[in-house]
Chains A and B, each alone.
Chain A
Amino acid sequence: MSEIPDDLKYTSTHEWARDEGDGIVAVGITDHAQELLGDLVYVELPEVGTDLGAGAECAVVESVKAASDIYSPLDGEVVEVNETLADSPEAINEAPYEQWIFKLKMADPAQLDNLMDAAAYAAAVEAEEH
């Protein structure tokens, strides 16, 4: 069973979101997602300044045999991207919850409440596997 920290919020498409304060949220992919994909070889980052709607495709993670879109969990503007991933995508495999992919300035912080908590996400993963 993959790791699902309690202090994060989750989407059904396997992104996690962490409230960084000041209306900023960090976004990455879950342990379960990185396990499914296998060794990552490339991360395509969004551009800083892009306005995203919740559910918008905004980045791509690639392994040798698969490529997976990353969807924005919330409405907001990209304010920072994790440039180190361009050279070391494997960092996501090693520590999926430490490696955020991009940070959003949330348009409406209340939207965070629409995301799943750890228990709900664990149940969703469980359901997907059956």
Chain B
Amino acid sequence: MPFIPHTEEEIREMLETIGVSSIDDLFDEIPESLRADTLEGVGPSLSEMEIGRLMQEKARQDSGGICFIGAGAYDHHVPAAVWQIATRGEFYTAYTPYQAEASQGTLQLLYEYQTMMAELMAMEVSNASLYDGASALAEAVLMAVRANRKSKSKRVLVPRSLHPAYRATVHTIVRNQGIELLELPFDDATGQTDLDALEIHAGSDFAALVIPQPNFFGVLEPVDQLSDWAHRNGLLAIAVVNPLAMAVLQPPGEWGERGVDIACGDGQPLGAPLSSGGPYFGFMTCRKQHVRQMPGRIIGRTVDLDGKPGFTLTLQAREQHIRRSKATSNICTNQGLMVTAATIHMALLGADGLARVAGACHANLNALVEKLTALDEEIEPRFSGPVFHERVLRLPMEVPQVLRTLAAHNILGGYHLGGDYPELEDCLLVCATETRTPDDLEKYARNLQRVLATRRQGACATMVRFDL
């Protein structure tokens, strides 16, 4: 019996102690009509070897692509030590540190994490994580509506240059509370949020402005102006940022004259593997004055009976297990293990290491863009705004077709923007992290060139076979 330790003799003894003759008797309070007989669709039990073989086969099917897709999830090198330590049983199989004295490992690590994340964002306080970047932004929007006492509005300004899946997630989570999201257009030339379009809203009552950095197009937003505009007009400023980029870019706590009020995002670039989209973790930092409106676990340092420093969950009266229907959020389980990995990741790399990774990404992206735009004068950057490690390119061919052909040759060539932005139907979002080699870039360029060549010959790209 997999994972069940009981011997026949023990089962007998235990039933005897309880005073029943069979395990079935223990279910005698459940109405007979509700008992299930069989579980169709589950199948027979597999041994570790058998399931191992099956999973190897599934893994093999998905292997081999060279990834130039970013769009919110980034292929970074994760030091070997990170997951070897994070999957130690003491971290991997503990739960929420309710018994602080028996959880000092997790608690101290989370306190260190809060410190690192607050430092990276240049913000005053951090929580101990939310689910992912998109849901963290939804929580930030809810928090801003609660925290902005000057505003009576439940309306929030959200740029169209924000990740479309983030916008969709925020919408799902906040709409039932009557919160309205108003979209801001982007400048067609730069790819940045259109400041003139923003100015139209000056004087209207909004609770908050969301500011992505970099935005979904990889473009850097004029964050100083955006943050100051929000504050000038009585809005809270919510930053949603790539934490790795903050190693080299101005952090949200320093944007404009006052810095933002809430900074959140997805922690995936800090030690989480791509893993088909999760688990990652959402981070959230804010000004200290708003800490009681922040959702999620928060760890504080205190002392024990002997005056020795120690760590514990604090400000729990915000949370659902105490405050129930008046809690700041319904969140309970968070993404603790991913934060464990991120903390070890940040400790290993340090500020200097993270800046080098960020620099290498930026350089690789520039090299890729240079190579691809050199192939054909009709391939060109779509936006003129400065970028971090992603860029939008316009292609002279149907983008999904190009991507399919590239994929057939194990190049995962990027993300087609036409689905989310009809006006960018001919555009592709490409990314190159530090893990892409010059050889990878060369392969991409070579294959794209061949796809283009087929266009010139007027042939259908998929009909053409070529070697790498």
Contact = CB atoms under 8 A, between A and B. Distances in A.
Q: Do chains A and B touch in the complex (CB under 8 A)?
A: yes
Interface of A: 41-42, 44, 47, 62-67, 69
A42 B317 contact: yes
Contact of A65 (B292, B322, B326): B322
A63 B317 contact: yes
A67 B317 contact: yes
A122 to B, nearest CB: 29
Interface residues of B, number: 7
19 contacts: A41-B317, A42-B292, A42-B317, A44-B292, A47-B149, A62-B317, A63-B317, A64-B316, A64-B317, A65-B316, A65-B317, A65-B322, A66-B317, A66-B322, A67-B317, A67-B322, A67-B323, A67-B326, A69-B326
B340 to A, nearest CB: 26
Contacts of B292: 42, 44
Contacts, number: 19
Given A62-B317, A67-B322, 8 more contacts: A41-B317, A42-B292, A42-B317, A44-B292, A65-B316, A67-B323, A67-B326, A69-B326
Instruction: Report which residue of A42, A47, A62, A63 has the largest number of chain B beta carbons within 10 angstroms of its beta carbon.
Output: A62
B146 to A, nearest CB: 12
The listed residue with most A CB atoms (<10 A of its CB), out of B149, B292, B317, is B317
Contacts of A64: 316-317
Nearest to A65: B322
Contacts of B322: 65-67
A64 to B, nearest CB: 7
Nearest to A47: B149
A115 B368 CA distance: 76
A62 B328 CA distance: 14
Interface string B319-357: 000110010000000000000000000000000000000
B351 to A, nearest CB: 34
Nearest to B312: A64
